[in-house]
């Protein structure tokens, strides 16, 4: 934003301070009842896309064979009976009898007809209930489903599957957010007291941050009532709303106090603040929004929701910083330093009329001395810091990406307990088959020629060393030869046999049939993923195949995300470069900023693998290692941190450029910029680290990983990158930092006009 436009906003805020404050107060009061309801309007899904082959294959089977992919597993466990005992079977049948006639149920596969649904110890079994509802909204019918289950005296009943998983995600997300708010808000307020050593100055940023979050959550709630918004937008909205709302106010209040200490009137201090810190805040908000809006480029609702929700709250935070904050400062005036706080061993609180700048809102000799030390020996700092950041990011070279399942949830919730039971006492490969939608290129499936093509496909699959079993029309009973089955399917004899008749009804329709492949390995094992890729890469004569199932879904999820990621990186980097180039009138500084941001993000990437994939510090952070990194986490961290790290770069370089325009001395400008902004940047980063750290307490591993990754990256950015790498790089570049070819052109044109 231009200074003239910001001046208009500043003057309006001064003149209409009570009106602006009243409007925001009314907005807060109106929004406060709706903000806590936001989770009820959000959806837990969003991890699939219509462009994925696994989704397309599932749609084919749903359309042609009326196959339902939304299901729940009803688990029965008894210490007294085995699953083959009559009493166990009778009680299990009685328990789910109401579900068999429910209008939401399409079919039930009982353990009595499929012995593979009995546990290895024989004391547990499950029935699979298929539902005629979309998976993403299936959690809505879970209360009705649970109410229909009849509890039995001698068996324990539990429920697992997609609907339970989505329902647990919503509950855990709400609990995580509530816990994070209770942890972070008091600690953030304490940090503000340490920064400003004044209750009045500390409360103002907290009010702005809190107001931004409440208004944002309420508005997103109303948006979610009319469109699908992912539950994962909830945490990112709170993180950015509280973190940036407080950060922006922190920078502006610090500048306001600095201007007052220079002897300016309240109105003059507000106008200077909004034209300097306010301009930096505006560019920062633009940079953060660019990064978050990059998530809109992905074909997944979960990422689009996070991007749109995050960008939305950034705009609200910026609006509050440019309107409500100046209005409050105009009302408070010189009382901004009221109620000084004496902190033991921290020095005396600063007086409101002190001629010296405060330790954190103005001059900081430590940061000046540090920057000068670094700039005297730039290579001795530049190379070790880069090597250290690269080493921290090195574990990411071993990353294994995966899709979220119940393992991201704590063991205490129903879907995770059912998941543990399934993986520990049952053959997990049986419950997650690779499913192939097979369509003929000519004619119906049940013709001699097409059955021959199908037989070739099944035989090749059975010969694969990774395949344990193939279930299809041609493998219903090993006692039948292909010739016998061909005769039965192509004549009326098959229709007269009840078993074959039911199989044909379930497995074939027109030119379409389904083939299930049971891998010898786990759902997300590299062997199972390679098997999916091999099946897709093989050309089967006369047939068109598309692969779905859990393993195929993981493969498609990861591949789709990372086929779109390079475009997002390019657009975010290019747009950010243009914005920073225009702001700083420099070709080089934006390139330096992009490079250093990348190094900060790499350290977060390394932590994701080191901690959450490999399991280091799992006891301290209270989670079980996933063995993989959730595929969207690096993307969300990149888009969120790219703008957030640029936040501190903008504030630092804004002050450096102010000094450079006065003196033209690169070294002294960097030292002065660090002196006046180094400590406040560290304080702002501390607030974001505190807010991000609050999400480390989350029970959902995805949210915990985002909290850890963002807190670590911001810490590295505010210390090693801004404190050491930035001054070293700027010293090495010298006056090239400020190279702007258009400035020379403008100067030549001005001389020509003067002549």
What is the pLDDT at residue 263?
Answer: 87
Q: What is the mean pLDDT of residues 324-336?
A: 93
Would 148 be classed as within a structural domain?
A: yes
Question: Is the per-residue pLDDT at 345 higher than 70?
Answer: no
Which band of pLDDT confidence, cut at 50, 70 and 90, is reported for residue 363?
A: low
- Which of 130-134, 136-140, 172-176 bottoms out in mean pLDDT, i.e. has the lowest? 136-140
Q: What is the CATH number of the domain that holds 443?
A: 3.30.70
Q: Biggest alpha carbon distance in the chain?
A: 107
Question: Is the per-residue pLDDT at 350 higher than 50?
Answer: no
What is the pLDDT at residue 542?
Answer: 92
Would 158 be classed as within a structural domain?
A: yes
- Under 8 Å between Cβ of 140 and 104: no
628 has which bridge partners? none
Sequential DSSP letters for 643-687: HHHHHHHHHHHHHHHHHHHHH--HHHHHHHHHHHHHHHHHHHHHH
Who contacts 563 (Cβ-Cβ below 8 Å, separation ≥6)?
A: none
Per the model's pLDDT, the better-predicted residue between 419 and 323 turns out to be 323
Q: What is the mean pLDDT of residues 97-121?
A: 89
Would 710 be classed as within a structural domain?
A: no
What is the pLDDT at residue 723?
Answer: 87
| b (16+ CB within 10 A) / e for 443-473 | eebbbeebbebbbebbeebeebebbebbbbb
Which band of pLDDT confidence, cut at 50, 70 and 90, is reported for residue 69?
A: confident
- Under 8 Å between Cβ of 545 and 452: no
- Which of 419-428, 467-476, 509-518, 630-639 bottoms out in mean pLDDT, i.e. has the lowest? 419-428
438 has which bridge partners? 513, 545
Sequential DSSP letters for 256-321: HHHHHHTT--HHHHHHHHHHHHHHHHHHHHHHHHHHHHGGGGSS-HHHHHHHHHHHHHHHHHHHII
| Reported pTM | 0.84
Count the Cβ atoms, other than its own, within 10 Å of residue 492. Answer: 7
What is the pLDDT at residue 343?
Answer: 60
Question: Is the per-residue pLDDT at 342 higher than 80?
Answer: no
Burial class for 132, CB neighbours closer than 10 Å (0-12, 13-18, 19+) = middle
CA distances in angstroms from 748 to 95, 737, 751, listed in the order given: 88, 21, 5
- Which of 38-42, 322-326, 498-502, 715-719 bottoms out in mean pLDDT, i.e. has the lowest? 498-502
Mean pLDDT over each residue of the chain, to the nearest integer: 86
- Under 8 Å between Cβ of 648 and 674: no
Q: Which of 132, 151, 166 is the last residue of a domain?
A: 166
Would 97 be classed as within a structural domain?
A: yes
434 SS3 class:
strand
Q: Which of 112, 131, 166 is the last residue of a domain?
A: 166
Range of the domain at 439: 433-548
- Under 8 Å between Cβ of 258 and 358: yes
User: Checking DSSP bridges between strand 467-471 and strand 629-630, what pairing results, if any?
Assistant: unpaired
**Alpha-carbon span 720 to 350, nearest angstrom:** 29
Question: Is the per-residue pLDDT at 328 higher than 90?
Answer: yes
- Under 8 Å between Cβ of 504 and 494: yes
Spatial CA neighbour of 693 closest among 712, 676, 680 = 712
Spatial CA neighbour of 316 closest among 245, 229, 238, 253 = 245
Question: Is the per-residue pLDDT at 298 higher than 90?
Answer: yes
Spatial CA neighbour of 728 closest among 387, 372, 388, 390 = 372
Quote the percentage of the chain above a pLDDT of 90: 36
Q: What is the mean pLDDT of residues 22-32?
A: 95
DSSP 8-state code for residue 444: -
What is the pLDDT at residue 752?
Answer: 47
Per the model's pLDDT, the better-predicted residue between 112 and 363 turns out to be 112
Would 8 be classed as within a structural domain?
A: no
What is the pLDDT at residue 2?
Answer: 57
Q: Which of 166, 196, 211 is the last residue of a domain?
A: 166
Which band of pLDDT confidence, cut at 50, 70 and 90, is reported for residue 418?
A: confident
Count the Cβ atoms, other than its own, within 10 Å of residue 41. Answer: 18
What is the pLDDT at residue 690?
Answer: 87
Question: Is the per-residue pLDDT at 319 higher than 90?
Answer: yes
In what helix (H) or strand (E) does residue 439 lie, and over which residues does it extend? strand 434-440
544 has which bridge partners? 439
**Alpha-carbon span 555 to 548, nearest angstrom:** 10
Would 123 be classed as within a structural domain?
A: yes
Number of domains in the chain: 2
Three-class DSSP labels, 26-79: HHHHHHCCCHHHHHHHCECCCCCCCCCHHHHHHHHHHHHHCCCCEEEEEEEECC
Would 382 be classed as within a structural domain?
A: no
Question: Is the per-residue pLDDT at 355 higher than 60?
Answer: no
Question: Is the per-residue pLDDT at 167 higher than 90?
Answer: no
Q: What is the mean pLDDT of residues 170-179?
A: 83
Would 5 be classed as within a structural domain?
A: no
- Under 8 Å between Cβ of 315 and 662: no
- Give 623-661 pLDDT, tens digit per residue: 888 888 989 999 998 988 887 777 778 888 888 888 888
Question: Is the per-residue pLDDT at 754 higher than 80?
Answer: no
Which band of pLDDT confidence, cut at 50, 70 and 90, is reported for residue 373?
A: very high
- Which of 242-251, 361-370, 428-437 bottoms out in mean pLDDT, i.e. has the lowest? 361-370
């Amino acid at each position: 934003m231009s200074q003239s436009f910001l001046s208009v906003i500043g003057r309006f805020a001064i003149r209409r301070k009570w009106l602006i404050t009243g409007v925001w107060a009314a907005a807060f009061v109106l929004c406060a009842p709706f903000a806590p309801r936001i989770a009820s309007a959000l959806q837990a899904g969003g991890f699939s896309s219509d462009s994925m082959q696994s989704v397309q294959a599932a749609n084919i089977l749903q359309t042609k064979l009326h196959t339902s992919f939304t299901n729940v597993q009803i688990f029965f466990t008894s210490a007294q009976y085995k699953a083959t005992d009559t009493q166990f079977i009778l009680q299990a049948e009685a328990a789910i009898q109401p579900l068999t006639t429910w209008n939401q149920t399409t079919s039930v596969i009982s353990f009595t007809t499929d012995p593979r649904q009995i546990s290895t110890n024989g004391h547990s079994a499950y029935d699979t209930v298929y539902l005629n509802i979309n998976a993403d909204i299936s959690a809505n019918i879970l209360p009705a489903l649970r109410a229909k289950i009849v509890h039995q005296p001698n068996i324990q009943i539990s429920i697992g599957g997609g609907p339970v998983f989505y329902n647990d995600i919503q509950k855990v997300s709400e609990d995580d957010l509530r816990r994070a708010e209770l942890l972070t808000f008091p600690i953030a307020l304490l940090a503000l007291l340490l920064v400003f050593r004044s209750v009045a100055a500390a409360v103002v940023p907290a009010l702005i941050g809190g107001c931004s979050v409440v208004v944002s959550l309420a508005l997103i709630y109303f948006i979610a009532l009319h469109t699908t918004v992912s539950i994962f937008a909830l945490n990112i909205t709170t993180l950015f709303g509280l973190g940036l709302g407080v950060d922006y106010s922190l920078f502006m209040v610090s500048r306001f106090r600095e201007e007052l200490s220079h002897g300016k009137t309240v109105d003059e201090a507000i106008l200077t603040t909004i034209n300097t810190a306010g301009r930096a805040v505006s560019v920062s908000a633009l940079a953060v929004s660019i990064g978050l809006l990059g998530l809109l480029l992905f074909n997944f609702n979960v990422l689009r929701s996070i991007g749109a929700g995050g960008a939305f709250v950034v705009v609200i935070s910026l609006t509050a910083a440019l309107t409500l904050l100046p209005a409050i400062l105009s009302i408070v005036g010189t009382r901004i330093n009221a109620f000084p706080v004496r902190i033991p061993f921290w020095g005396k609180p600063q007086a409101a009329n002190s001629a010296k700048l405060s330790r954190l809102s103005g001059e900081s000799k430590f940061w000046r001395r540090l920057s000068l030390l670094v700039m005297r020996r730039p290579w001795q700092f530049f190379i070790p810091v880069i090597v250290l950041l690269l080493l921290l990011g090195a574990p990411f070279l071993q990353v294994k990406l995966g899709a979220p399942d119940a393992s991201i949830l704590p063991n205490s919730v129903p879907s995770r307990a059912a998941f543990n039971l399934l993986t520990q006492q049952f053959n997990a490969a049986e419950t997650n088959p690779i499913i192939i939608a097979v369509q003929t290129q000519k004619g119906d499936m049940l013709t001699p020629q097409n059955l021959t093509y199908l037989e070739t496909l099944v035989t090749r699959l059975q010969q694969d060393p990774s395949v344990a079993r193939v279930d299809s029309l041609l493998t219903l009973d090993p006692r039948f030869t292909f010739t016998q089955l061909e005769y039965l399917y192509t004549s009326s004899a098959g229709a007269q046999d009840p078993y074959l008749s039911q199989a044909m009804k379930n497995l074939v329709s027109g030119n379409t049939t389904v083939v299930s492949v049971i891998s010898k390995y786990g759902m997300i094992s590299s062997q199972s993923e390679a098997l999916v890729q091999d099946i897709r890469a093989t050309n089967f004569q006369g047939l068109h195949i598309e692969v779905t199932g859990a393993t195929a879904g993981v493969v498609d999820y990861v591949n789709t995300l990372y086929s779109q990621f390079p475009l997002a990186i390019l657009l975010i980097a290019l747009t950010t470069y243009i914005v920073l180039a225009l702001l700083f009138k420099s070709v080089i500084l934006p390139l330096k900023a992009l490079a250093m941001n990348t190094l900060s993000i790499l350290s977060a990437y390394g932590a994701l693998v080191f901690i959450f994939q490999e399991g280091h510090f799992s006891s301290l952070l209270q989670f079980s290692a996933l063995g993989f990194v959730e595929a969207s986490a690096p993307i969300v961290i990149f888009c969120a941190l790219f703008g957030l790290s640029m936040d501190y770069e903008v504030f630092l370089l804004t002050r450096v450029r102010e000094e450079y325009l006065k003196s033209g001395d690169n070294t002294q400008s960097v030292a002065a910029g660090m002196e006046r902004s180094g400590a406040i940047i560290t304080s702002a980063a501390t607030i974001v680290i505190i807010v991000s750290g609050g999400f480390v307490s989350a029970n959902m591993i995805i949210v915990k990983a985002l909290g850890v990754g963002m807190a670590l990256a911001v810490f590295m950015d505010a210390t090693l990158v801004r404190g050491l790498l930035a001054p070293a790089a700027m010293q090495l570049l010298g006056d090239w930092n400020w190279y702007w070819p258009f400035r020379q052109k403008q100067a030549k044109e001005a001389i020509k006009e003067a002549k």
